[in-house]
Amino acid sequence: MGKKVALTGNEAAAHAMRQINPDVIAAFPITPSTPIPQAVAQFIADGEMDTELVTVESEHSAMSACIGAAAAGARVMTATSANGYALMWEMLYIASGMRLPIVMAVAARALSAPLNIHGDHSDIMGGRDTGWIQLISENSQEAYDNLIQAIKIAENKDVMTPALAAFDGFNISHAIEIWEMEDDAAVKEFIGDYEPLFPLLNTDEPITHGAWAPPDWYFEHKMSQLKGLLNAKDVVEKVGKEFGEAFGREYGLYEAYKLDDADFVIVAAGSVCGTTKDVVDSLRDNGIKAGLLKIRLFRPFPFKEIADALQSAKAIAILDRVSPAGAQGGPLFSEIRSALYDTPTRAPIINYTYGLGGRDTQPKHINSVYETLKKIVETGKVEKQFDCLNLRGAWG
């Protein structure tokens, strides 16, 4: 049986790593994910896990060492944030291109400049096309649960693709919450042993890892890699069910919160979903049909399932915790709107950027979004397709 603990999101990730006990962890400290390798180092020092920890000199080398170790045949993990994630960027493509099931915890954070150590999704959204599976967590419980499931998803033979489990920097990484930690033995049993497919260290059958492919082969490699990533969708569902059977907390591709009959729907990812659920509850108490679609699997993006789930909506607001950077909207907005194009719904869709660099997002801000959605449905008019929440002064 598991036990209730009151620990931070970083500690949740670190305990998941302790229980997974991978062969190798290579990591370089960066706020807000630093407490993860610190805790891991302490677990190792106390004999509570026997992972080889490589305290590399940079995140680029962290991912390089992870790739070397995973190619060698080891089960491998790391953790990072923000500029560290950005420094890994080149190697993220190489990890997925080489089909290595590395698993990474990301305490999501703003990217410089200006320098900012607080939470937003600039890092993970910047790396959304690197070919990694991306799971986004709402709280410490999910940070813990997703990291454990990520091992099983990434290592699935039909997938063989690296996976990251992200949770908001500070809002989750440093906030103490009560969550359930499962027994070490139960986690070990859930993930099972790792059998690498083509380990470099099998010197009896020498393999060339990381060859270069000219124009007559590169394309085939990338499309074959894409199949592995797309296969992850079914595997995420399957593993989510198995996780539910094992530990009583079932996971799907996304979470529908009071969505079935909802007129006014917010789509969001991460810790803001907790605040949004509270607002939905109080609106429902007042007879207002509010709902939330919480994104869990962002890559591969389950566009069909999410579009189907949004069919009842009369107006939709999508919250992006990242600047749209000159696009028509944030990355979540673009995905959702594109997904809905092939469906009957023509509900108006608006986009908000919120929480950049750790800016607070309170129930009153979420409430204002639902109010705007109500007004759009009442008037049939969209005044602003893109807006900001809790920005000093008006946007646009």
Residue 142: both structure tokens together: 């999910």
In whole angstroms, the minimum distance from the beta carbon of 74 to another protein comes to 4
Residues 151-190, mask of contacts with another protein (x by CB under 8 A): ----------------------------------------
Contact 107/79 with Cβ under 8 angstroms? yes
Q: How far is CA 58 from the centre of its chain?
A: 22
Contacts of 211 (CB under 8 A, 6+ apart): none
Single out the residue of 367, 208, 163, 161 nearest to residue 280, CA to CA.
Answer: 367
Does 287 bind another protein (CB under 8 A)? Our answer is no
Instruction: Select the span of 5-13, 87-95, 256-264, 352-360 touching another protein (CB under 8 A).
Output: 87-95
Distance CA 388, CA 310 (A): 23
Choice from 209, 284, 337, 375 touching another protein (CB under 8 A): 209
Does 224 bind another protein (CB under 8 A)? Our answer is no
User: Which H or E element spans position 219?
Assistant: helix 215-247
In whole angstroms, the minimum distance from the beta carbon of 347 to another protein comes to 45
In whole angstroms, the minimum distance from the beta carbon of 47 to another protein comes to 13
What single letter denotes the amino acid at residue 77? M
Choice from 7, 41, 44, 72 touching another protein (CB under 8 A): 72
Long-range contact set of residues 127-130: C-beta below 8 Å, sequence gap at least 24:
127/85, 127/86, 127/89, 127/92, 128/298, 128/299, 128/331, 130/89, 130/92, 130/93, 130/96
In whole angstroms, the minimum distance from the beta carbon of 127 to another protein comes to 16
Task: Please provide the DSSP assignment of 229-260 as one string.
Answer: HHHHHHHHHHHHHHHHHHHS----SEEEES-T
Does 201 bind another protein (CB under 8 A)? Our answer is yes
Contact 265/292 with Cβ under 8 angstroms? yes
User: Which H or E element spans position 6?
Assistant: strand 3-7
Does 217 bind another protein (CB under 8 A)? Our answer is yes
User: Which H or E element spans position 386?
Assistant: strand 386-388
Distance CA 244, CA 36 (A): 26
User: Which H or E element spans position 5?
Assistant: strand 3-7
Does 225 bind another protein (CB under 8 A)? Our answer is no
Choice from 46, 57, 260, 342 touching another protein (CB under 8 A): 57
Does 219 bind another protein (CB under 8 A)? Our answer is no
Choice from 213, 325, 382, 391 touching another protein (CB under 8 A): 213
Residue 328: both structure tokens together: 């028509």
Does 210 bind another protein (CB under 8 A)? Our answer is yes
**CB of 18 or CB of 321, closer to another protein:** 18
Which 125-154 residues touch another protein, going by CB under 8 A?
A: none
Does 65 bind another protein (CB under 8 A)? Our answer is yes
Instruction: Select the span of 46-54, 276-284, 301-309, 369-377 touching another protein (CB under 8 A).
Output: 46-54
In whole angstroms, the minimum distance from the beta carbon of 57 to another protein comes to 3
**CB of 90 or CB of 378, closer to another protein:** 90
Angle (deg, nearest 10), helices 140-155 and 215-247: 130
In whole angstroms, the minimum distance from the beta carbon of 228 to another protein comes to 17
Instruction: Select the span of 68-76, 113-121, 234-242, 344-352 touching another protein (CB under 8 A).
Output: 68-76
Which 96-125 residues touch another protein, going by CB under 8 A?
A: 98
Instruction: Select the span of 1-9, 140-148, 209-217, 338-346 touching another protein (CB under 8 A).
Output: 209-217
Long-range contact set of residues 327-336: C-beta below 8 Å, sequence gap at least 24:
328/386, 329/385, 329/386, 330/125, 331/125, 331/128, 332/267, 332/268, 332/269, 332/295, 332/298, 335/301, 335/303, 336/267, 336/306, 336/307, 336/310
Which 248-267 residues touch another protein, going by CB under 8 A?
A: none
Which 266-285 residues touch another protein, going by CB under 8 A?
A: none
In whole angstroms, the minimum distance from the beta carbon of 149 to another protein comes to 23
Residue 267 zone, left/alpha/beta (φ > 0; ψ -120 to 50; rest): beta
Does 64 bind another protein (CB under 8 A)? Our answer is yes
Does 200 bind another protein (CB under 8 A)? Our answer is yes
Distance CA 29, CA 7 (A): 20
Instruction: Select the span of 66-74, 271-279, 326-334, 335-343 touching another protein (CB under 8 A).
Output: 66-74
Residue numbers of the site for another protein (CB under 8 A)?
23-24, 26, 50-52, 54-58, 60-61, 64-74, 76, 90-91, 94, 98, 200-203, 206-214, 217, 221
